[in-house]
Amino acid sequence: MEVLINIAVLASGSGTNLQALIDAPDLGGDIGLVLSDRADATALDRARSAGIPTKVLPWDDYGSRSKFSIAIREEVEKRDVELVVLAGFMRVLGNELVGAFSNQILNIHPSLLPAFPGAHAVDQALEHGVKLTGVTVHFVDEEVDHGPIIAQRAVPVLSDDDRDSLHARLQVEEHDLYPKVVAALARGDITVEGRKVRWD
């Protein structure tokens, strides 16, 4: 029988990446929890529709990154989570969580890191006038959008692009790439040495 790893997805917004993970035919993992910092996140509706347990931890209830990160750690430890997948989770996590889940937390970001980290990557790529941008899946460390890079896909910027048109094309790549990375991790096909990530 196939062994499924236990996954928690953290999401703050619309959750289209969460949906891609839910719909993936061979994820190699079981999404046992969707956690959000926002009670109104559409991602939570997607989870409920798929029968996945949800949890809301409002940032304002904690007041510090450290307390917020401990609360998340407690939720994922309670459920024996082996992989934490950030899918549009717009809070920076502290060492209380990242240190306990070293190379077990993934993030997806709409740029070719290290270009344009942070919350406004698509706008910044357009403002900067780059001809090529893309998406990055990386392990999470304590710095914003910084940990070891697992996979990247390039996406050309078109002369008439605005934020919505470019983000839509980036998301096509995100939805294809993220489940593939999770599946490769679940199979044990990915190894990490410092910042270098190898696919076997």
Residue type, 163: R
Could you tell me if 75 and 55 are in contact, meaning their C-beta atoms sit under 8 angstroms apart? yes
CB of 119 to ligand GAR, least distance (A): 6
Q: Judged by CB under 6 A, does residue 145 bind ligand GAR?
A: yes
Q: Judged by CB under 6 A, does residue 110 bind ligand GAR?
A: yes
Cβ count near 192 (within 10 Å): 14
Angle between helix 42-49 and helix 16-23 axes, rounded to 10 deg: 20
Binding mask 74-93 for ligand GAR (x = CB under 6 A): -------------xx-----
The 3-class secondary structure across 60-73, one letter per residue, is HHCCCHHHHHHHHH
Which pair of structure tokens corresponds to residue 150?
Answer: 């697992």
Nearest CA among 186, 191, 200, 190 for reference residue 2: 186
Q: How many residues bind ligand GAR (CB under 6 A)?
A: 16
Q: Judged by CB under 6 A, does residue 174 bind ligand GAR?
A: yes
Is 109 catalytic? The answer is yes
Residue type, 190: I
CB of 174 to ligand GAR, least distance (A): 6
Nearer to ligand GAR, 76 or 125 (CB): 125
Give residues in contact with ligand GAR (CB under 6 A). 11, 13-17, 87-88, 108-110, 119, 121, 145, 171, 174
Tell me which residues are annotated as active site: 109
